């Protein structure tokens, strides 16, 4: 090895130093036992984006069947969550009642069914007097609701904040966390107050995820607004406690395939919960190729648990986002917000790699390694440039190049 190669090898080792298992373990150990419920961002399905109030036990059974057999379970999706509208009233004892027409077998039987598929089951409530759709809320019923959910063997509860204007969010959500603890079953607590009370400042030891924005819709402008808002809170995310930029719209029909790939890529770069919101029973091959892209899911689920950030904004509609990964490599998303295709360039100095470092580059949508960035095989380059479609991304991982054979 020549002196030049030796120097390059050292530079490479420093640029891509893997985060040791000890550091990852320490990052995880600092979180409470509750936080270990979501050491990586939760993955699953929720009824709201596609089905709104049209929920039923048949839908949930068929969704669980689909998730268990169409590759989603293998890819890491595990929670099947019923959002608003499953509840109709309370018994005299105060116990909440599931809609007997839509859920004739009852929630415990449904939980058993979902568990029988090797999956987990979730429900929705609201800490106000009524849910957003006017169903009975958990106000003044925190203990009994938590106990009922534990009796039903649920694993995940999304907790909304409609009709709660006169209440203090921090107090109420902490009370609900304590009620779940008392009920004695580990249940993921998904906080949904839309970022109104700055949950990134206090929710890390209350729930495992908290919404940072208003509701997503199945439109590109919604995705763009959400990523900008969610990005501001990157420092609050880590193993056990995640910013939640809302559920996915991939496969719901309102965006192009490029837009859906960008949506999914940015959620992965931001270590967001991957809660699908489409009909899992009737997915097209294109939708499957997005939601089941294991290389992209692996970026989201990386054990370091760092939320990626925007590192470069050209001001002319192209951006670079970067997420450091546990093995020392870096995931980058080159995002094109323009109405036409664009070449997006990123210099090593923009992403913390010393100029001249040999870098291996993998394209996670093409499932291919890009040619090594060298100059006549002698000098490494210090930047890369990729053609990115309108409203699309290139999602790449950049890693160390194996040391040259002597």
Site for ligand GLA in 252-311 (CB under 6 A): none
Q: Which is nearer to ligand GLA, 155 or 258 (CB)?
A: 155
Span 190-249, contacts to ligand GLA by CB under 6 A: 192, 215
Q: Tell me if 145 contacts ligand GLA by CB under 6 A.
A: no
Stretch that binds ligand GLA, among 20-28, 131-139, 289-297, 361-369 (CB under 6 A): 131-139
Stretch that binds ligand GLA, among 127-135, 170-178, 252-260, 301-309 (CB under 6 A): 127-135
Q: How far is 241 from 243, CA to CA, in rounded Å?
A: 7
Comparing CB distances to ligand GLA, the nearer of 53 and 257 is 53
99 binds ligand GLA (CB under 6 A): no
- Chain residues 42-71 in contact with ligand GLA, contact rule CB under 6 A: 48
Of 155, 160, 300, 302, the catalytic one is 160
The answer to whether residue 34 is catalytic is: no
Is residue 84 within the footprint of ligand GLA (CB under 6 A)? yes
CA distances (Å), 239 to each of 157, 375, 384, 387, in order?
19, 40, 31, 34
Specify the stretch interacting with ligand GLA by CB under 6 A; choose among 108-116, 125-133, 143-151, 356-364: 125-133
Residue nearest ligand GLA, Cβ-based = 132
Distances (CA, A) of 366 to 22, 241, 263: 33, 31, 17
Q: Which of 57, 160, 244, 258 binds ligand GLA (CB under 6 A)?
A: 160
Nearest distance from C-beta of residue 178 to ligand GLA, angstroms: 23
Q: Which stretch binds ligand GLA (CB under 6 A): 57-65, 130-138, 310-318, 364-372?
A: 130-138
232 is catalytic: no
Q: Which is nearer to ligand GLA, 190 or 397 (CB)?
A: 190
How many Cβ atoms sit within 10 Å of the Cβ of residue 249?
Answer: 25
Cβ 95 to ligand GLA shortest distance, Å = 22
- The residues that touch ligand GLA, with contacts defined as CB under 6 A, are 48, 83-84, 131-133, 160, 192, 215
- Residues recognised as catalytic: 160, 215
């Amino acid at each position: 090895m020549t002196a030049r190669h030796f120097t390059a090898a050292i530079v490479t080792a420093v640029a891509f130093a893997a985060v040791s298992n000890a550091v990852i373990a320490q990052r995880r150990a600092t979180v409470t036992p509750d936080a270990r419920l979501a050491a990586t961002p939760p993955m699953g399905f929720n009824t709201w984006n596609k089905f709104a109030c049209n929920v039923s036990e048949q839908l949930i059974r068929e969704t669980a069947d689909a998730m268990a057999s169409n590759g989603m379970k293998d890819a890491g999706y595990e929670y099947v969550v019923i959002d608003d509208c499953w509840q109709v009233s309370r018994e005299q004892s105060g116990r909440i009642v599931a809609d007997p027409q839509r859920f004739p077998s009852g929630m415990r039987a449904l939980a058993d069914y979902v568990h029988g598929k090797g999956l987990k089951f979730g429900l929705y409530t609201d800490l106000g007097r009524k849910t957003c759709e006017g169903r009975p809320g958990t106000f003044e019923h925190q203990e009994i609701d938590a106990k009922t959910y534990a009796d039903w063997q649920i694993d995940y509860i999304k907790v909304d904040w409609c009709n709660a204007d006169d209440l203090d969010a921090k107090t109420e959500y902490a009370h609900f966390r304590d009620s779940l603890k008392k009920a004695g079953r580990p249940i993921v607590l998904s906080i949904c107050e839309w970022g109104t009370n700055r949950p990134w400042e206090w929710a890390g030891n209350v729930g495992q995820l908290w919404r940072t924005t208003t509701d997503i819709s199945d439109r590109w402008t919604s995705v763009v607004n959400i990523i900008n808002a969610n990005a501001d809170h990157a420092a609050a995310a880590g193993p056990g406690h995640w910013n939640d930029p809302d559920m996915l719209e991939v496969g719901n029909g309102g965006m192009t395939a490029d837009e859906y790939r960008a949506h999914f890529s940015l959620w992965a770069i931001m270590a967001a919960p991957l809660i699908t919101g489409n009909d899992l029973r009737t997915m097209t091959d294109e939708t499957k190729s997005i939601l089941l892209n294991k290389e992209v899911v692996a970026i989201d689920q990386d054990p370091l648990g760092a939320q990626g950030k925007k590192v470069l904004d050209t001001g002319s509609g192209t951006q670079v986002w970067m997420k450091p990964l546990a093995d020392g490599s870096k995931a980058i998303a080159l995002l094109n917000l323009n109405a036409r295709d664009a070449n997006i360039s990123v210099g090593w100095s923009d992403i913390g790699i010393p100029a001249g470092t040999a870098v291996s580059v993998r394209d996670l949508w093409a499932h291919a390694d890009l040619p090594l960035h060298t100059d006549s095989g002698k000098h490494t380059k210090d930047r890369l440039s990729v053609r990115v479609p309108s409203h699309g991304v290139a999602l790449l991982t950049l890693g160390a190049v194996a040391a040259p054979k002597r």
